A and B are shown apart, each in its own frame.
Chain A
Amino acid sequence: MMNKKIAFGMIVFEGDYVLEACLSQVYPYASQILIAEGPVKFWQEKGRSTSTDRTNQIIDNFPDPENKIKIVHGQFSEKDDQCSAYMQFLNDDIDYLWNLDSDEIFKGEDIEKLIDIMEKGGYTSADVKSCSFYGGFDRYIGGFEERKGNFHRVFKVYPGSKWLTHRPPTVVHDPSADPIPSKHIDGDTLWYRHGIRMYHYSYVFPKQVANKIEYYEAKVSRDKCFKNYFETIYLTWVQADDDEQKFNVEMINDGVHEFIKGTRPHTFTKRFEGSHPSEIEKRLEEYRNRIDDEMSSYSKVGLECWKSDQVYEHMLDGANGKLWAKLENSSHWPVLKQLLDFCKSNGATSFCDVGCGAGAVGHIYKDVEYTGADLPGIVQNVSRKFSPDLNFVEFDIDEDVSFLSNYDCLVLGGFIDVMEKPIEVLEKILASSKKYVVIHRQHLGKGTKSWLTTSYNNMISYQSQIDTDEIISIPKKYGFTVLNITPVDGQYSILLEKK
Chain B
Amino acid sequence: MRNLVTISDKAYLEKGLTLYDSLENTQKPGSFVLHYICLDDDTYEKVSSIDKNSIKAIHISELENDNFELRNIRNISPSREAISNGQAQNRDPRHIQFCWALASYSCYYFINRVGLENIYYLDADLFFYKDLQLFDDELGDRSVGIVRHRIDYLASSGEFNVGIVYFRNDEKGRRCSDWWKRQLASNPEDNPYHAWYGQCGDQKYLELFPLIFGDSVAIVDDSVGHLAPWNATFHDYSDDKVVWNGKKQELLYFHFAHFKINGDSYRTSYNNEWIWGAPEDFHGFVKNKYDNYYTSTIKSRKNYGLNDE
Q: Are B186 and A265 in contact (CB under 8 A)?
A: yes
B60 to chain A, nearest CB (A): 13
Q: Is A270 an interface residue (CB 8 A)?
A: yes
Q: Is A28 an interface residue (CB 8 A)?
A: no
Q: Are A265 and B190 in contact (CB under 8 A)?
A: yes
Q: Is A143 an interface residue (CB 8 A)?
A: yes
Q: Are B113 and A273 in contact (CB under 8 A)?
A: yes
Q: Are A268 and B72 in contact (CB under 8 A)?
A: yes
A340 to chain B, nearest CB (A): 35
B247 to chain A, nearest CB (A): 36
Cα separation A267 to B202 with both chains bound (whole Å):
22
Q: Are A266 and B69 in contact (CB under 8 A)?
A: yes
Q: Are A250 and B68 in contact (CB under 8 A)?
A: yes
B123 to chain A, nearest CB (A): 27
Q: Is A359 an interface residue (CB 8 A)?
A: no
CB-CB under 8 A from A251, the residues of chain B are: 72, 75
Q: Is the interface of A mostly helix, strand, loop or mixed?
A: mixed
CB nearest neighbor in B for A191: B174
Given contacts A251-B75, A265-B190, contact A270 B175 (CB under 8 A): no
Cα separation A87 to B304 with both chains bound (whole Å):
70
Instruction: Kindly supply a per-residue 1/0 record for chain B positions 53-84, scoring 1 wherever the CB is within 8 Å of any chain A CB and 0 otherwise.
Output: 00000000000011111011001000000000
Q: Are A271 and B186 in contact (CB under 8 A)?
A: no
Q: Is B152 an interface residue (CB 8 A)?
A: no
CB-CB under 8 A from B72, the residues of chain A are: 247, 250-251, 254, 266, 268
Q: Is A489 an interface residue (CB 8 A)?
A: no
Q: Is B250 an interface residue (CB 8 A)?
A: no
CB-CB under 8 A from A271, the residues of chain B are: 65-67
Q: Is B239 an interface residue (CB 8 A)?
A: no
Cα separation A270 to B178 with both chains bound (whole Å):
14
A139 to chain B, nearest CB (A): 9
Given contacts A265-B186, A265-B190, A446-B92, contact A192 B175 (CB under 8 A): yes
Q: Tell me which of B68, B171, B174 has the highest count of chain A C-beta atoms within 10 A of its own C-beta.
A: B68
Q: Are A192 and B113 in contact (CB under 8 A)?
A: no
Q: Is A80 an interface residue (CB 8 A)?
A: no
22 A–B pairs (Cβ distance < 8 Å), ordered by A: A143-B69, A188-B175, A192-B171, A192-B174, A192-B175, A192-B178, A247-B68, A250-B72, A251-B72, A254-B72, A255-B68, A266-B186, A268-B67, A268-B69, A268-B72, A269-B67, A270-B66, A271-B65, A271-B67, A273-B113, A273-B114, A446-B92
| Closest 10 pairs between A and B when the two form their complex, measured CB to CB | A268-B68, A193-B171, A268-B69, A270-B67, A192-B171, A243-B65, A192-B174, A271-B66, A247-B68, A192-B175
Residues of A within 8 A of B (CB): 142-143, 188-189, 192-193, 243, 246-247, 250-251, 254-255, 265-266, 268-271, 273, 446-447
